[in-house]
Amino acid sequence: MLNNFVMPDLYPAAPELFLATMACVILLVDLFAGPARRWLTGSLTLLTLIGCAAVTFLTFDGTSSLTFANMFIDDPVADFLKFLVCIAVVVVLIYGRDYMAERNLDKGEYYLLVLFATLGMMVMISAYNFLTLYLGLEMMSLSLYAMVAIDRDSPRATEAAMKYFVLGALASGLLLYGMSMIYGATGTLELGLVAQALQDGVANRTIMVFGLVFLVAGIGFKLGVVPFHMWVPDVYHGAPTAVTLFISSAPKLAAFAMALRLLVSGLFGMADQWQTMLMIMAVLSIGIGNLAAIAQQNIKRMLAYSGISHMGFMLLALMSGVVGRETDPMALVNAYSSAMYYSVAYVIMSLGAFGMVLLLSRAGYEAENLEDFKGLNKRSPWFALMMMVIMLSMAGIPFFVGFFAKFTVLLAAVAAEHVVVAVIAVMFSLVGAYYYLRVVKLMYFDAPVDSAPIRASVDMKILLSANGLAVALLGLFPNTLMMLCTATLVRSL
């Protein structure tokens, strides 16, 4: 057997190999550096992620290539999403640095868990085989479970981690069971060969439908959409805010890539079936997410339910690629590029929103209730403006990136003849605007409860300002990001 071994091409996996190697190096550095040089681990982690983004950018050649016995794919979609994941995690670490240090949580294991979770996301994004996908998913998920419980003295964090772990294990089991059924029906784990088996009509359709149901359930859990959303508000609320910021951002890009790989690359021949499932989940997520968010007094829980509704919009775009029985290439590209655009826009907005929560938090004080935002305009007019921009964007008010993200999704839905679903989405978005505008009202029209000055590192303040301005500028010039999403998809599909 050894004589038949063919050395795989390692070049397409250069970013993952770089990240894995540096994670091992940082593990040893942290072990020998000790608590006195804890800053060294954090700095090396940031440099590693920036280096990984640079490697991803430098190895981009606009073509698709398979390696590791067709288990791993490197295409423009993978490169684009991996680059964004690395940048998002860098932003997360800078936002959360002071918060974690003040609570003595910025230990070596926190940074290593961040690196391994990022590695898991990157493997998920490039997976072209059920086993590779599952490997990346579990690497990310197990790291996230540990990160939620990193504050061992907090009963709330421990409880949230236990809920996340139990429900996550159940979802992983469902996903694995679905994969095993599809393997039984097609005789292969490779996504391209699964698609070929469906096209040739050699797969048992009944078993494939059952497998598809379990796969969609697993995807729904990782995206945090109804009816698999039970963990989202509790985990967002219970985890340290810096960890909540991490969970709410980069993993959403990986979950989108997972849905794209499974449903479009592998199971496009069953689009009629999964389109209906996504439609139900999308409508329920947009409705329940917006209605439940109105009742929240804790901003982390409010943003959790808001995230559920936003992921519902992403699913609405994903299900709009198939129009009737004819496959229109332009409809496919418009729908999937709008889903990618929405995912990227949501991550940018989520980083800014939770970044503001971290900005207002300080040692011994968690600024996680809506009351903590009262009178923010009197304390800091600039950051009140940034928070207002983010809230208006999330509400889908012109002319911010959130408005164009919603607009492109609704256009794709109408083009796919889902007019009723698009109208329902618009109605619930109008309902959802209430809880975003409530935050603006508290900042500008209420007296401040806390008059303590806002203290944060210079780099965090600069980055948070850039984050808020990016939300505004991408709304004024939406075509740049949209064209980027479209170009990567056209070269990959």
DSSP of 163-212:
HHHHHHHHHHHHHHHHHHHHHHHHS--BHHHHHHHHHHT-S-HHHHHHHH
* Domain membership flag for residue 447: yes
What is the pTM (predicted TM-score) of this model?
A: 0.94
* Domain membership flag for residue 87: no
Tally of domains within the chain: 1
- Residue recorded with tokens 């250069």: 14
Strand residue runs (E) in 205-286: none
pLDDT by residue for the chain (493 residues), tens only, comes to: 456 767 788 888 999 999 999 999 999 998 887 777 778 888 999 999 999 999 999 988 888 888 888 899 999 999 999 999 999 999 999 998 888 888 888 888 999 999 999 999 999 999 999 999 999 999 999 999 999 999 888 889 999 999 999 999 999 999 999 999 999 999 899 998 999 998 888 888 889 999 999 999 999 998 999 888 889 999 999 999 999 999 999 999 999 999 999 999 889 888 888 999 999 999 999 999 999 999 989 999 999 999 999 999 999 999 887 765 456 677 788 889 999 999 999 999 999 999 999 988 876 678 888 888 888 888 888 999 999 999 999 998 988 999 999 999 999 999 888 899 999 999 999 988 999 999 999 999 988 877 777 877 888 889 999 999 999 999 899 888 999 999 998 887 7
* Domain membership flag for residue 347: yes
Do the strands 65-67 and 72-74 form a parallel or antiparallel pair, or are they unpaired?
A: antiparallel
pLDDT of residue 409: 93
* Domain membership flag for residue 210: no
- Between CA 166 and CA 280 the distance in angstroms is 25
* Domain membership flag for residue 396: yes
Radius of gyration of the chain (CA): 22
**In b/e form, how buried is each residue of 442-468, taking b as 16+ CB within 10 angstroms?**
bbbebebebeeeeebeeebbebbeebb
* Domain membership flag for residue 400: yes
- Residue recorded with tokens 């640095």: 97
* Domain membership flag for residue 39: no
- What is the DSSP-derived secondary structure letter of residue 203? S
pLDDT of residue 323: 60
pLDDT of residue 325: 46
Stated as kind and residue range, the H or E segment containing 342 is helix 329-360
- The mean pLDDT of the chain is 89
Cβ pair 406, 310 in contact under 8 A: no
* Domain membership flag for residue 111: no
Cβ pair 177, 248 in contact under 8 A: no
What is the residue range of 429's domain?
268-493
Q: Measured at the alpha carbon of residue 140, what is the angle toward residues 137 and 145, in degrees to the nearest 5?
A: 120
